[in-house]
Structure 1
């Protein structure tokens, strides 16, 4: 009987310690963004930058000017890389129908994971045919923090999310977003 009481006391002590222990959370921070219009007859980058307002607040903004609208057939390849002596494939590499993704958020949950927060902070709010320039304005790491730490926890390290955009089965643009999870 005494052994069970000792075990219960230890269990209660562990529960109390865990309850009062501060929560350990990771933090995502953008480190770079690279945008490239592969087909300069189709699109032009008006701007693509990472802005550091202060040491703890950064955001990225992108504006792609479409030279040959409308977009009626789009595919997007999303790939995630983690740095291990160079960037190596990590966890995801998917290609989705961009028009279906814009039209139906339940079309592909993994793609929506990457694309969903950009959709809410951009003018990508309607389906194909798409006539407007693409504007992603002031995406902060706070949005990604929730996805990379609470929704689907990732190990600490340096990451790259690369997306290749194909319009009419021709590669038109490539975006690379770099960040650190610490």
Structure 2
């Protein structure tokens, strides 16, 4: 007997908190067919180069509302890219979109940031095989800071059944 989980993306919300610093050109979830769904986003950076970046990852689970679940960490993205294997939790989150992104280098960031077509199959592998999660509705809330100021929030919603 084999048990398998199914990961389903349900929504993505991207918010630019300082449009003079950065803006989302696009941020969407696309369903091609029943089994192929992905999300993509592009952030236009207006004040480059950016030499100081940190990111807060909060994994949330919906009970009566979304509540913290398992991880809530903040990392210095510039230091993380210099030595990726020192923080396994950050590595877990980054590996989900690393092959689909141009955010795979140390600071400074000199170009617009792109995450292109992160598929359900990639996320399903992370949340049902690498680190099995219990069934439920989840959200990954990320806050992106530059120079200590929150510049953008990205929220990805999903369910695991």
For 2:95, the equivalent position in structure 1 comes to: 116
- Tell me the CA shift for residue 103 of structure 1: 2.5
The question of whether the paired residues in 1 share the 8 Å contact of 2:96 and 2:126 is answered with: no
- Tell me the CA shift for residue 107 of structure 1: 2.9
Runs of 4 or more consecutive aligned structure 1 residues displaced over 4 Å after TM superposition: none
- How many angstroms apart in 1 are the aligned matches of 2:126 and 2:96? 9
Q: Does 1:39 align with 2:18?
A: yes
The question of whether the paired residues in 1 share the 8 Å contact of 2:30 and 2:39 is answered with: yes
Deviation by residue 1:113-140 (Cα, 9 ceiling, x = unmatched): 1112212211112110110100000000
Give the aligned length: 161
More strand by share: 2
Structure 2 gap ranges (5+):
none
For 1:49, the equivalent position in structure 2 comes to: 28
For 2:43, the equivalent position in structure 1 comes to: 64
- How many angstroms apart in 2 are the aligned matches of 1:24 and 1:100? 39
The question of whether the paired residues in 2 share the 8 Å contact of 1:100 and 1:127 is answered with: yes
* Relative contact order higher in (CA < 8 Å, ≥ 6 apart): 2
- Tell me the CA shift for residue 111 of structure 1: 1.0
The question of whether the paired residues in 1 share the 8 Å contact of 2:49 and 2:110 is answered with: yes
- Tell me the CA shift for residue 102 of structure 1: 2.2
More helix by share: 1
For 1:17, the equivalent position in structure 2 comes to: none
Q: Does 1:176 align with 2:155?
A: yes
**Aligned with 1:72: secondary structure?**
coil
For 1:103, the equivalent position in structure 2 comes to: 82
The question of whether the paired residues in 2 share the 8 Å contact of 1:35 and 1:174 is answered with: yes
Q: Does 1:167 align with 2:141?
A: no
Q: Does 1:145 align with 2:124?
A: yes
Structure 1 gap ranges (5+):
1-20
- Tell me the CA shift for residue 72 of structure 1: 0.5
Q: Does 1:126 align with 2:105?
A: yes
Please report the RMSD computed on the Cα atoms of aligned residues, expressed in angstroms.
0.9
